[in-house]
Structure 1
């Protein structure tokens, strides 16, 4: 990406090379045209309308010549009326075609924008968790909203206008050659210079546009982080509100500066095109006058018609050149969008995945010699872990901070794929399972629950949209949160607020647990899911989950050891490896790693 030097002037050439490499790798004409392919029928209609309008417009100068050379000299009023009426009719036809063209173009453009937004959104959902831990949410939002939004002008306006103007230029040039090839060639002399300057200006503005969109993404990220509930609390309690405002001001000024540079880059070169184009009518009159003075066949009507055609040529030609500059700028936007679309998917489904019926799944989970590393070149986070979790049992995974507990949870939930070994559900490798089967079998509750800015009922029904009110109440009772919700003025219709800030940490954890219980998964993974609860509430919830006749397999990842005392087996991790396993009493009796954790907790 282009970056401004510390003095605020020229960007570094190395960054230009990096951008060129990025754009070349991700953007091609064929790929862009592929976005338009599903709508080729309607696009063909637009092209036909453009050609029809251009053809109608070409007749006007010839009618004008006939008026000057024939109707006026002869005083033929009927001919004059017919020719004048034809001019009005052609104008009406052109106006009607223009309206229809705008309607069709707008619909096609919005459909393409919708397809592109959906493609990016859907693809992002298939990426591994590692992509999102390394990418700011504001940058993702900016690419979907700002970058694709900026392309809207191209597909709904610029492309149609450029096509119409190009059609007009081609047909007008042909008409000029038919009218008088000498005057036409004089007009065409400007084309090579204009095309060269247009390409040069387009390249400059393209690079500035890429950098500008990057800065806009940074600004969006800053807004999202600093103006969230957590960001406001942090800024006010740290006394940094003024500093954040100043930082935002600097980012905003950089965006404004890049906007100015993007719109004004190459303006002096562009003024040369304007000068030459404005001089062409005078030069044409001069050449036409010389031809007439030298006795060459040249009429006043031909000269006036040529000037009219020239005016009809030069404005569309200038617009075509400007559209070329805009198209070059959109290459930078496509580079940012396609860069995301070309991110390799982290979690993929087999072409013929195994589908398990949740009603018949036993819930037997086994980790078989699992190895995993976040960075292939770095040390392994999980080293040869084998754990057998019988169906219907309660298994706890404990260990010191950084021992790999949460990483193991990510692998069980298939938020990452193992590097070696396998995670199996009822003997089926999780990589062979359909993604729908996995989500039907497994329910996950994390330490930091995410709640939507919606009502409590809507948050719970996110897990099961068809759940009845009684289903909601039953799940909330199991999670020990029903009495709290029932006592609220709006009950289950209470809006939880941004990220659930209407509720305390423990209340949010219980709501998240109720949401997962509502799905009634055969396997329940609790990753520090009760860390914010008091001991009494935690015990009541554990008893509710361990109701008689249960068939659910529960996997608890915990740092607070009071959570795991009643587990059927406890797995102790250290540096990504299993160092002990057994019941609470068995492990205490060995005076090993688990016993040291208990003593430390006490």
Structure 2
């Protein structure tokens, strides 16, 4: 009971060692600059107010010296009054400068985070389906939320601190040299030692931070997979809540240990700084006191020097701690840019053109042609990152992977219904995924209306091709919002007509909130058949010239399926349809049937023609469809069961 995934959550797996220990990539800082420069005016305002703040910090001790030496000791009340008024005025100016400084740094920092977050979200949406089949959802959410938040903290805090600390340091040291070069040199002897711990501790914290982010992403993935309806149901049905809780507890324990280690390292760093600053203060007290006793320094000068020394600790401490903060913050940026550098496999070519039908808005249906198409799924290295998968297994070389489609050739005629049948794993679903360009073929070409789909704009292709999958997905929103996703400008009447055509309006109208009913996570408040009919209504609302149905009526009862088939037959008239057949009625209505086996078209023709051949189709028909014809009931079989094809 000690092995398995539970133990893997306690420490990084072998494949994760490289992820948690990897160094920051060169050029990470340089890549941040363009995002910040988009807020150059806020940066300028930040620099001005920071310089003013630093100047006031350096000038205040000098005014204190003048107050003592030129006002209090000579008993000149007017000098005391004017210098007191000056100090009060500088305090008000400093308060205003601090306010503007906070606003400017916040605007730059939050603006940079906004730019990064939106760019990352858009970039993730451009990734191919193969990317999402490998990457854990929790890991992706972690990049968009946790990692970006780490970047926010770095920018908003460090941006103002770095400039302020540097300017304050220069001005304070200059003022100290002006008052007493002896005490200044003595106080600066130990200060370089403050910078040494930062680099060593920063390296350790970088590794801990990266591993902590990996643990956070893994716990997020566990929560995402167990807290949706399907995951929660699986856990309960198999009686595994205790084991799941134990696995999560082990991951949380590892995160706890990492946080404790981070806290200890940070405390060690500040303990070192405190000791060194205390030694420096003692040195200055002794040397300054002796010089004052000997009459070398005036009393006001000594007080001003001690005040300046205290002012010096803050920027030096900030610069030293910033080493640690910058090195750990760069982990967040590095993880974000790591994903941003992942080039999408499916991209629009320069000079891509829209489909003529899509461009003119005409409903004319184009034909679909597969010409010498060969395809195999991309490897993990091509589409994903090890840090996004969390669980890695040895991946075969690309050359050893099996071909899903092998030299596939066929034409789905314009305005006709083409049915795909074949055993599970034959490649039927893969064919339907190539049409809307979810993947690109490794060889050959897929053409729509005579155009290679790789030469078309993605927008026009997606406008032309409408797809309903077997597992119809609905967002956790209202029925109305899910329908309008297909055509945002649709009217209420359009929605009602689409729902009536999909035979789902009676169900929707019986709900207390009608179209404004929230469907729940992934539509689980609805039955499988209801979800499919809403998905079909969404397709009908889009009304595309090309329709792809991947067993889209598999979850419907016979009566509902028959009604929808009649609706689809009317709605899809004169449209090019490519349908994975699940029902006998689909096959009988098909203008062409393609029998797919092992990634090739083995037979093609009409229902009667293929039965006459007495080949693979006839065998499939006898095992899957004949009983439907005789009894009118759905019969599942291995040949017709949905699979990963």
Same fold, TM exceeding 0.5? yes
Q: Conserved in 2, the CA contact under 8 Å of 1:212 and 1:258?
A: yes
State the partner residue of 1:71. 71
- Alignment partners' CA distance in 1, 2:16 and 2:215: 15
State the partner residue of 2:54. 54
Q: Conserved in 2, the CA contact under 8 Å of 1:204 and 1:266?
A: no
Measure how far apart 1:437 and its partner are.
0.5
- 1:419 aligns with one of 411, 423, 442: 442
Residues 321-342 of structure 1 show CA distances to partners (whole Å, capped at 9, x for unaligned) of 2222111111111121111101
Q: Conserved in 1, the CA contact under 8 Å of 2:28 and 2:333?
A: no
State the partner residue of 1:541. 564
State the partner residue of 1:405. 428
- Alignment partners' CA distance in 2, 1:532 and 1:10: 43
CA-atom RMSD, angstroms?
Answer: 2.3
More displaced 10-residue stretch of structure 1: 99-108 or 202-211: 99-108
Q: CA 1:219–1:543 in 2, change beyond 3 Å: closer, same or farther?
A: same
- Alignment partners' CA distance in 1, 2:521 and 2:90: 59
Structure 2 counterparts to residues 191-206 of structure 1, below 5 A: 191-206=191-206
Is the partner of 2:39 in helix, strand or coil?
A: helix
State the partner residue of 1:273. 273
Structure 2 counterparts to residues 187-226 of structure 1, below 5 A: 187-226=187-226
- 1:436 aligns with one of 459, 475, 480: 459
- Alignment partners' CA distance in 2, 1:22 and 1:322: 20
State the partner residue of 1:176. 176
User: Is 1:552 matched up with 2:552?
Assistant: no
Measure how far apart 1:574 and its partner are.
0.9
- Alignment partners' CA distance in 1, 2:208 and 2:333: 14
More displaced 10-residue stretch of structure 1: 243-252 or 467-476: 243-252
Q: CA 1:405–1:22 in 2, change beyond 3 Å: closer, same or farther?
A: farther
Residues 29-84 of structure 1 show CA distances to partners (whole Å, capped at 9, x for unaligned) of 21122220111121111011100111122111111111222212211111111112
Is the partner of 1:254 in helix, strand or coil?
A: helix
State the partner residue of 1:597. 620
User: Is 1:365 matched up with 2:388?
Assistant: no
- Alignment partners' CA distance in 1, 2:532 and 2:620: 25
Is the partner of 1:343 in helix, strand or coil?
A: coil
Structure 2 counterparts to residues 513-532 of structure 1, below 5 A: 513-532=536-555
State the partner residue of 1:40. 40
Structure 2 counterparts to residues 16-35 of structure 1, below 5 A: 19=20, 21=22, 23-24=24-25, 28-35=28-35
Is the partner of 2:158 in helix, strand or coil?
A: helix
Q: Conserved in 2, the CA contact under 8 Å of 1:390 and 1:553?
A: yes
- 2:608 aligns with one of 585, 588, 601: 585
Is the partner of 1:367 in helix, strand or coil?
A: strand
- Alignment partners' CA distance in 2, 1:7 and 1:351: 45
Structure 2 counterparts to residues 442-457 of structure 1, below 5 A: 442-457=465-480
More displaced 10-residue stretch of structure 1: 569-578 or 316-325: 316-325
Q: CA 1:10–1:297 in 2, change beyond 3 Å: closer, same or farther?
A: farther
Residues 488-508 of structure 1 show CA distances to partners (whole Å, capped at 9, x for unaligned) of 232222221111111111111
- Alignment partners' CA distance in 1, 2:14 and 2:553: 54
- Alignment partners' CA distance in 2, 1:33 and 1:437: 36
Residues 527-568 of structure 1 show CA distances to partners (whole Å, capped at 9, x for unaligned) of 111110122322222222222992211110134555323211
State the partner residue of 1:322. 321
Aligned positions, number? 596
Measure how far apart 1:87 and its partner are.
1.5
Which TM-score applies when normalising by structure 2? 0.88
- Alignment partners' CA distance in 1, 2:17 and 2:555: 50
